[in-house]
Amino acid sequence: MFTLLLDRVGEIVDEPTDINEKLLSICRLLKNNVPHYNWVGFYLVYQPGELALGPFIGELTEHTRIPFGKGICGQAAEKGVTFIIQDVSKEVNYLSCSPKVQSEIVVPIFKNREIVGELDIDSHNLSSFTEEDVKFLENVCRVVSRLF
C-alpha cells in the first residue's frame, strides 16, 4: 500500500497546480488511505525559528504558529529529525490539538539541507507508528521537498 501511495504523492507533486493545493491533496491522500492517520498536515517555515500551519486535513487546531523547540513540531524543526511519540500523555513538551490524539509523528522536510517544513500526523490510537510508517513518511517528505 505505501508504495502505491508514494507513487501517487509523486504524481501530485508533478501536477500543474499551486503548492498549497498539492500539499492539501497529499494530506487528503494520506488521511483517506491510512486508517491510523487521523490528522495530517504540513507546517512550513514561516520565518527563521518559526513554523506556520499550512494545508491540513482534520480537526481545526489553535496551533497556527509554533516556535522551533516548542511541542513535538517545534522540537522536530529545531533538531532536524523525525519525532515519534507513541503516547503523547507522557510527553512534557507537547502541544495538545485534540484530546483524541494519543500518538504523533513529525517528519522534517529539507531543501538544500535546510528545514523548509514538516509533515505532522496525529493518531487517535496509542503506539500507532511503526518503522514502516517512518520510512514511508520520510520518503513522502523527500518527494515533497521538490516543491520548495
Domain enclosing residue 59, as ranges: 2-147
Res 44: pLDDT:
98
Q: Counting Cβ atoms within 10 Å, is residue 95 exposed (0-12), middle (13-18) or buried (19+)?
A: middle
Contact 129, 113 (CB under 8 A): no
CA gap 5, 70 in Å, rounded:
31
With a pLDDT cut of 70, the percent of the chain lying above it is: 95
CA gap 86, 131 in Å, rounded:
12
What predicted TM-score, i.e. pTM, was given to this entire model? 0.95
Residue pLDDT, tens place only, 41-67: 999 999 999 999 999 999 999 999 999
Q: pLDDT higher for 148 or 99?
A: 148
DSSP letters for 65-119: EEETTSHHHHHHHHHTS-EEES-GGG-SS---S-TT--EEEEEEEEETTEEEEEE
Is residue 142 scored above 80 in pLDDT? yes
Residue pLDDT, tens place only, 96-129: 666 788 999 999 999 999 999 999 999 999 999 9
> Smallest Cα–Cα separation from 124: which of 95, 103, 148?
103
Res 112: pLDDT:
95
Number of Cβ within a 10 Å radius of residue 65: 13
Res 95: pLDDT:
64
Give the number of domains in the chain.
Answer: 1
3-state helix, strand, coil in the chain (%, to 5): 40, 30, 35
Contact 23, 98 (CB under 8 A): no
Nine-digit cell string for 60: 481545526
Q: How confident is the prediction for the chain on average, in pLDDT?
A: 94
Res 90: pLDDT:
86
CATH of the domain at 59: 3.30.450.40
Is residue 8 scored above 90 in pLDDT? yes
Res 89: pLDDT:
85
